[in-house]
Amino acid sequence: MNVVDPEKKIKDVLEGSPKRNFVESVDVAINLKNMDMKNPNNRIKEEIMLPEGLGVDRKIAVFAKGDVADRAKKAGADVFSDEDIDEIGKNKRDAKKMASRYDFFLADPRFMSQIGKRFGPVLGPRGKMPIPIVNDSAVEDMISRYKKSIRINTKDNLTFHATLGKTTLGPEKLSKNLMTVLDRVNARLKDESNLRSVYVKTTMGESKKMK
Protein backbone atom coordinates (compact mmCIF):
# COMPACT_ATOMS: atom_id res chain seq x y z
CA MET A 1 0.00 0.00 0.00
CA ASN A 2 1.50 3.28 -1.11
CA VAL A 3 1.74 5.95 1.60
CA VAL A 4 4.19 8.70 0.75
CA ASP A 5 6.74 9.32 3.53
CA PRO A 6 4.68 7.95 6.46
CA GLU A 7 7.53 8.63 8.89
CA LYS A 8 7.50 12.36 8.12
CA LYS A 9 3.72 12.53 8.34
CA ILE A 10 3.71 10.81 11.72
CA LYS A 11 6.48 13.14 12.87
CA ASP A 12 4.21 16.06 11.95
CA VAL A 13 1.38 14.47 13.94
CA LEU A 14 3.59 14.12 17.02
CA GLU A 15 5.05 17.60 16.75
CA GLY A 16 1.61 19.11 16.23
CA SER A 17 0.12 17.49 19.30
CA PRO A 18 0.00 19.70 22.43
CA LYS A 19 2.12 18.49 25.32
CA ARG A 20 0.18 16.44 27.84
CA ASN A 21 0.92 15.27 31.37
CA PHE A 22 0.56 11.65 30.23
CA VAL A 23 1.93 9.52 27.43
CA GLU A 24 -0.55 9.50 24.56
CA SER A 25 -1.25 6.70 22.14
CA VAL A 26 -1.13 7.06 18.38
CA ASP A 27 -4.15 5.68 16.54
CA VAL A 28 -5.01 5.05 12.92
CA ALA A 29 -8.49 5.46 11.44
CA ILE A 30 -9.10 3.49 8.24
CA ASN A 31 -12.05 4.33 5.98
CA LEU A 32 -13.27 1.87 3.36
CA LYS A 33 -15.68 2.38 0.48
CA ASN A 34 -17.80 0.45 -2.03
CA MET A 35 -18.04 -2.59 0.23
CA ASP A 36 -21.16 -4.30 1.58
CA MET A 37 -20.19 -4.74 5.20
CA LYS A 38 -23.42 -6.59 5.93
CA ASN A 39 -21.77 -9.45 4.05
CA PRO A 40 -19.55 -11.25 6.61
CA ASN A 41 -17.10 -12.16 3.83
CA ASN A 42 -16.21 -8.47 3.46
CA ARG A 43 -15.47 -7.89 7.13
CA ILE A 44 -11.90 -7.77 8.39
CA LYS A 45 -11.03 -9.44 11.66
CA GLU A 46 -7.30 -9.81 12.26
CA GLU A 47 -4.75 -10.12 15.03
CA ILE A 48 -1.64 -8.23 13.98
CA MET A 49 1.76 -8.37 15.64
CA LEU A 50 3.32 -4.92 15.38
CA PRO A 51 7.05 -5.17 14.51
CA GLU A 52 7.98 -2.43 16.96
CA GLY A 53 5.51 -3.34 19.68
CA LEU A 54 3.29 -0.70 21.29
CA GLY A 55 5.67 0.91 23.76
CA VAL A 56 3.74 -0.94 26.45
CA ASP A 57 2.96 -4.63 26.78
CA ARG A 58 -0.53 -5.94 26.23
CA LYS A 59 -1.97 -7.73 29.26
CA ILE A 60 -2.19 -11.48 28.69
CA ALA A 61 -4.21 -14.00 30.70
CA VAL A 62 -3.54 -17.72 30.41
CA PHE A 63 -5.91 -20.50 31.48
CA ALA A 64 -3.66 -23.45 32.28
CA LYS A 65 -2.26 -25.73 34.99
CA GLY A 66 0.99 -27.49 35.71
CA ASP A 67 4.14 -26.90 33.67
CA VAL A 68 2.41 -24.70 31.07
CA ALA A 69 1.01 -22.50 33.83
CA ASP A 70 4.43 -22.16 35.49
CA ARG A 71 6.12 -21.21 32.21
CA ALA A 72 3.36 -18.79 31.28
CA LYS A 73 3.77 -17.04 34.62
CA LYS A 74 7.53 -16.75 34.09
CA ALA A 75 6.85 -15.29 30.65
CA GLY A 76 4.88 -12.45 32.22
CA ALA A 77 1.26 -13.60 31.86
CA ASP A 78 -1.34 -13.81 34.59
CA VAL A 79 -2.38 -17.43 35.03
CA PHE A 80 -5.76 -18.86 35.98
CA SER A 81 -6.67 -22.49 36.72
CA ASP A 82 -9.86 -24.37 35.94
CA GLU A 83 -10.94 -23.70 39.53
CA ASP A 84 -10.50 -19.96 38.88
CA ILE A 85 -12.65 -20.26 35.76
CA ASP A 86 -15.55 -21.57 37.82
CA GLU A 87 -15.04 -19.15 40.70
CA ILE A 88 -14.72 -15.96 38.64
CA GLY A 89 -17.30 -17.09 36.10
CA LYS A 90 -19.98 -17.41 38.76
CA ASN A 91 -20.00 -13.64 39.25
CA LYS A 92 -20.92 -11.70 36.11
CA ARG A 93 -19.38 -8.49 37.44
CA ASP A 94 -16.04 -10.22 38.12
CA ALA A 95 -16.15 -11.83 34.68
CA LYS A 96 -16.70 -8.43 33.05
CA LYS A 97 -13.84 -6.90 35.01
CA MET A 98 -11.57 -9.70 33.85
CA ALA A 99 -12.67 -9.25 30.24
CA SER A 100 -11.82 -5.56 30.42
CA ARG A 101 -8.51 -6.05 32.22
CA TYR A 102 -6.86 -8.29 29.61
CA ASP A 103 -6.15 -7.72 25.93
CA PHE A 104 -5.69 -11.37 24.99
CA PHE A 105 -6.61 -14.71 26.54
CA LEU A 106 -4.76 -17.97 25.86
CA ALA A 107 -5.98 -21.34 27.06
CA ASP A 108 -5.20 -25.02 27.37
CA PRO A 109 -7.62 -26.59 24.84
CA ARG A 110 -8.96 -28.86 27.59
CA PHE A 111 -10.46 -25.80 29.28
CA MET A 112 -12.13 -24.30 26.22
CA SER A 113 -15.62 -25.76 26.79
CA GLN A 114 -15.51 -24.74 30.44
CA ILE A 115 -14.40 -21.22 29.47
CA GLY A 116 -17.12 -21.02 26.84
CA LYS A 117 -19.75 -21.90 29.42
CA ARG A 118 -18.53 -19.47 32.08
CA PHE A 119 -17.05 -16.61 30.04
CA GLY A 120 -18.52 -16.99 26.55
CA PRO A 121 -21.32 -14.41 27.06
CA VAL A 122 -18.73 -11.88 28.27
CA LEU A 123 -15.70 -12.58 26.08
CA GLY A 124 -17.56 -13.46 22.88
CA PRO A 125 -19.16 -10.05 22.20
CA ARG A 126 -15.80 -8.38 22.93
CA GLY A 127 -13.99 -10.58 20.42
CA LYS A 128 -11.78 -11.91 23.19
CA MET A 129 -12.48 -15.64 23.25
CA PRO A 130 -9.27 -17.48 24.22
CA ILE A 131 -6.73 -18.60 21.65
CA PRO A 132 -5.93 -22.32 22.16
CA ILE A 133 -2.38 -23.25 23.12
CA VAL A 134 -2.05 -26.01 20.53
CA ASN A 135 1.62 -26.66 21.27
CA ASP A 136 2.56 -26.51 24.96
CA SER A 137 6.21 -25.81 24.12
CA ALA A 138 5.21 -22.62 22.30
CA VAL A 139 3.42 -20.85 25.17
CA GLU A 140 6.31 -18.43 25.76
CA ASP A 141 6.42 -17.52 22.07
CA MET A 142 2.66 -16.99 22.04
CA ILE A 143 2.81 -14.68 25.05
CA SER A 144 5.69 -12.71 23.53
CA ARG A 145 3.83 -12.35 20.24
CA TYR A 146 0.52 -11.28 21.71
CA LYS A 147 2.18 -8.75 24.00
CA LYS A 148 3.04 -6.90 20.78
CA SER A 149 -0.27 -7.53 19.04
CA ILE A 150 -3.47 -5.63 18.35
CA ARG A 151 -6.90 -6.69 17.11
CA ILE A 152 -8.75 -5.06 14.26
CA ASN A 153 -12.39 -5.82 13.67
CA THR A 154 -14.48 -3.86 11.19
CA LYS A 155 -17.72 -5.63 12.18
CA ASP A 156 -20.24 -4.06 9.81
CA ASN A 157 -18.57 -0.63 9.69
CA LEU A 158 -16.73 1.04 6.82
CA THR A 159 -14.61 2.98 9.35
CA PHE A 160 -12.51 1.29 12.02
CA HIS A 161 -9.61 2.17 14.31
CA ALA A 162 -6.41 0.59 15.59
CA THR A 163 -3.67 1.56 18.02
CA LEU A 164 -0.15 1.94 16.59
CA GLY A 165 1.62 2.42 19.92
CA LYS A 166 2.68 5.09 22.37
CA THR A 167 4.13 8.41 21.23
CA THR A 168 7.39 7.44 22.94
CA LEU A 169 8.08 4.95 20.14
CA GLY A 170 8.87 7.85 17.81
CA PRO A 171 8.06 8.43 14.12
CA GLU A 172 10.26 5.68 12.65
CA LYS A 173 8.85 2.83 14.72
CA LEU A 174 5.29 4.11 14.54
CA SER A 175 5.51 4.34 10.75
CA LYS A 176 6.66 0.69 10.58
CA ASN A 177 3.70 -0.33 12.71
CA LEU A 178 1.36 1.71 10.50
CA MET A 179 2.58 0.09 7.30
CA THR A 180 2.24 -3.38 8.86
CA VAL A 181 -1.41 -2.68 9.68
CA LEU A 182 -2.13 -1.22 6.24
CA ASP A 183 -0.44 -4.13 4.47
CA ARG A 184 -2.61 -6.60 6.38
CA VAL A 185 -5.76 -4.63 5.62
CA ASN A 186 -4.81 -4.35 1.95
CA ALA A 187 -4.26 -8.12 1.78
CA ARG A 188 -7.88 -8.59 2.88
CA LEU A 189 -9.39 -6.13 0.41
CA LYS A 190 -10.59 -7.37 -2.96
CA ASP A 191 -9.33 -4.15 -4.52
CA GLU A 192 -7.04 -1.42 -3.11
CA SER A 193 -9.53 1.11 -4.45
CA ASN A 194 -11.81 -0.02 -1.60
CA LEU A 195 -9.55 2.00 0.70
CA ARG A 196 -11.01 5.50 0.88
CA SER A 197 -8.60 7.18 3.30
CA VAL A 198 -6.26 6.73 6.25
CA TYR A 199 -5.81 9.18 9.14
CA VAL A 200 -3.41 9.13 12.10
CA LYS A 201 -3.77 11.06 15.34
CA THR A 202 -2.62 11.10 18.94
CA THR A 203 -5.17 10.48 21.69
CA MET A 204 -5.94 14.18 22.19
CA GLY A 205 -4.46 15.63 19.01
CA GLU A 206 -5.70 16.48 15.54
CA SER A 207 -5.68 13.86 12.80
CA LYS A 208 -3.49 13.98 9.70
CA LYS A 209 -4.32 12.29 6.42
CA MET A 210 -1.86 9.57 5.41
CA LYS A 211 -3.63 8.48 2.25
Q: Which CATH class is domain 60-146?
A: alpha beta
pLDDT for 192 equals 85
pLDDT for 1 equals 61
Parse the chain into domains and list their residue ranges: 6-55+149-209, 60-146
pLDDT for 169 equals 97
Question: Which residue stretches of the chain have pLDDT < 50?
Answer: none
pTM score, whole prediction: 0.89
pLDDT for 18 equals 86
The pLDDT tens digits of the residues spanning 139-165 come to: 999 999 999 999 999 999 999 999 999
Domain 6-55+149-209: assigned CATH number: 3.30.190.20
Integer-rounded Cα Rg, in Å, for the chain is: 19
